[in-house]
A and B are shown apart, each in its own frame.
Chain A
Amino acid sequence: MSVDARLIKRLPAVADATSFELNVHLRAEAGITAIFGPSGAGKTLILNCLGGFARPDEGRILVNDHLFFDAAAHVHLPPRERRCGYIFQDHALFPHMTIRENLRFAAASRAPANGRLNRRRRINDLLEAFELTDLAARKPMQLSGGQKQRAALARTLVNEPRLLLLDEPARGLDPRLREGFYDVLRRTRDQLLIPILLVTHDLEECFELADSICLIENGRFTQTGPRDVVFKRPASTDIARALGIYNILPAEIEALDPGRDTSRLTVFEFKLDGPYLPGRLIGDHGYLCVPISEFRIVPNDSQPAANRLSLRLTGQIPSSRGVRLQFEHGVAATASESEYRAIQGSDRLTLEIPRSVIYFVGK
C-alpha cells in the first residue's frame, strides 16, 4: 500500500496574489503521513491533486500501482473512480441527510459491487465501530464536533478506500474531543493499513499522530522522513525555526574524536561535549539545534560540570505546560511550577544540555 506522487502545478498571479508553484514528490506508505507547514504552503492543493479535484500541470500519481494521473500520457482519473476517502475541514457531512443516510449514500454510490444486505451490514458495522449507532437517525446539525468527525470518517470508510486524505480534521475541536478523534484515527490506521495523508499546521497533532512527516513551505518539501528523524534532526536552521521547538545556538567545532565518539563545541563562551559529528571539520561554524524541552534547569549552587551554560534570565511567561523562561541570546527553557518556585528571585540560571540531544547543523 503506497502512494508515489510527483506533482507540479503552477497558479498564475492574479489580483492581489503572487504566482505560486507546487513542486513536490510525495511518497507515503501505510500509516499516517503528516503534511505540515504554514497556511498557503500548498498542503490542501496536494490533497486536491491526489483526490482528483485539481489537475497538476506535470507529474504522475501512482497509488498501489493504480495510475491516477499522468500528465504526459493524458491520464486523469475522475474523483469518483479513485476510491480516495477525503475528509474536508468542516466535515462535509450532508446536512440534509441523517448519519445513516450519509453512510447509505456512500454505500449505494458503488451499488453494483455490493448487495443490499451486505451494504446494510457494512453500515451497521461501521456505525458500531465508531460508536454512532445511537446517533444514526440524527442529522449532522444535532451532533457534536467530535461525533461529526467520527461520522465523516465512518462515511469515507464505507467503500474501503485505498487512501485517506484528511484536511485539518481536528481544527476547531476542543482538546478533549481532539484526543477522542486522535484515538479513533490511530485505531483506523492500525486496522486498515492504508496510507493516510494528514494536512495540518498544528505541531502537536504531528507529534501525536504522524508516523512520517513532510515539511512543506512555499510549494516545496523542505524535509521529509520518519517523524522522529524530522523532529530530532531538522535539516536546516530555517526548518528548526519553522518548527518552533528548538533553541538555535551558534556554535564552533573545537575538537572531534571519532574514536571515542565525542566532539567539543564552543557555544557563546561555554564549552559543550557532544557526540562525534561525521562530515564536519574542526573550526566549522554552525548551529546547535536543541529542543527547548531538553534544557534542564540546574540549581545555581551545584558543582560545575560539563554541558552547562549560565545565562541571564530576561523574562517568564506562564503556559499550560509550566513556565516558559526566556534568557539572553534568545534562549528559552521550560520549567515546571515547582521548579519555578525554587528558582524565584535568581536573575541568572544554569542550564544543562544532555550530550545525546546535541545536534549540529551547518546553516
Chain B
Amino acid sequence: MLALIAIDWFPLWLSLRVAAIATTGVLTLGTLVSYLLSHKCFRGKHLLDSLITLPLVLPPTVLGYYLLVIAGRASPFGHVYEAVFGQPLVFTWQAAVVAAFLHSAPIYIKAATAVLETVDYRFEWAAQSLGASEWRTFWLVTLPLAWRGLSSLAALSFARGLGDFGVTIMLAGNIPGRTQTLSVAIYDAVESGDGTLARVLVVVVSALALALLWPAGYLSRKTRPATAA
C-alpha cells in the first residue's frame, strides 16, 4: 500500500492532459476534414485520403523520424516555432500532444467520414432548400444526426491519445517529470526493473481504457437516427 503512495503519478496526469488537448484537436480539425471527405468532391481528394492513412501505415519510429526532420530544432518550422514560443517543439510535452494527435486523428477521420456519410443527404438538401447556409445545415442538422456516432469515436480517440509510444518517445523523449507519458513510463519501469511501478501503471491504463470503451460502445449501439416509419 505504501508503494502506491510513493509512486510518481505525473505520467498519468500528463497523459490525461495530452490526450485531452489532442482529442480536442482531433474533434475539431478531424471533423472538418471528415466533412470535406464525405460531402465534397475535389481534386486531390485521394491524395488527402492517402496522407491521412499514412500515420496508420508507417512504423511509428519512421513517422517519428520524419517529424524530427520536419519540426526539429534545425528545421525551418522548428526555427519559427522556437522564435514564437521561446522553446523548441521537440522534447517538450507539446510534442507529446502532436504525437497523440497523429496517433488518433487518422482513425477518427476515417470512421467519422463513414458516420457523416450515413446521415441521409435528403435532410441536408431539405435544409438547403429551406434557405439554410452550409454551416447552419452542418451545425443544426448533420451534426446532431451524427452525434452519437461521433461521440463514440471521441471516446475512442481519447483512449488512443492516452496510448501512443513510438512517436512520443522519438519526438518528446523520455524526460521524467517533463515528457514522460504513461506508456513511456511503463516502458521505462520495465527496462529499469521496477516491476511494481510497471504493474500499477498497467492496471491504471487498462482501467482507463475499459472505462472509455463502455460509453463508446453504448453510444455506437444506437447510432442510427430515428427514421420516418
User: Which chain A residues have a beta carbon within 8 Å of chain B's beta carbons?
Assistant: 51-53, 78-86, 88, 90-96, 105-106, 109-110, 139-141, 145, 148, 155-156, 158-159
Contact = CB atoms under 8 A, between A and B. Distances in A.
B130 interface: yes
Contacts, number: 80
Contacts of B228: 90-91, 93, 95, 140-141, 145, 148
Given A86-B126, A105-B127, A155-B130, A141 B141 contact: no
Contacts of A96: 144-145, 225-226
Interface stretch (B32-40, B88-96, B132-140, B149-157): B132-140
B129 A86 contact: yes
Q: Which of A53, A105, A110, A156 has the most CB atoms of chain B within a 10 A radius of its CB? A: A105
A155 B132 CA distance: 13
Given A93-B228, A95-B226, A109-B136, A84 B144 contact: no
Interface of A is mostly: loop
22 contacts: A53-B125, A53-B128, A79-B129, A80-B133, A88-B122, A88-B125, A90-B122, A92-B126, A93-B228, A94-B141, A95-B145, A95-B226, A95-B227, A95-B228, A105-B140, A106-B130, A109-B131, A110-B131, A141-B226, A148-B228, A155-B130, A158-B130
B229 interface: yes
Interface residues of B, number: 22
B125 to A, nearest CB: 6
Which 6 pairs between the two chains have the least Cβ-Cβ distance?
Answer: A109-B131, A92-B126, A109-B132, A79-B128, A86-B129, A106-B130
B123 interface: yes
B150 to A, nearest CB: 14
Contacts of B127: 94, 105, 109
Contacts of A109: 127, 130-133, 136
Nearest to B225: A95
Contacts of A53: 125, 128
Nearest to B141: A94
A149 to B, nearest CB: 10
Contacts of B125: 51, 53, 79, 86, 88, 92
A26 B65 CA distance: 62
A78 B128 CA distance: 9
Given A91-B228, A93-B228, A80 B132 contact: yes
Given A90-B228, A145-B228, 6 more contacts: A80-B130, A95-B228, A109-B133, A139-B226, A156-B130, A159-B131
A7 to B, nearest CB: 18
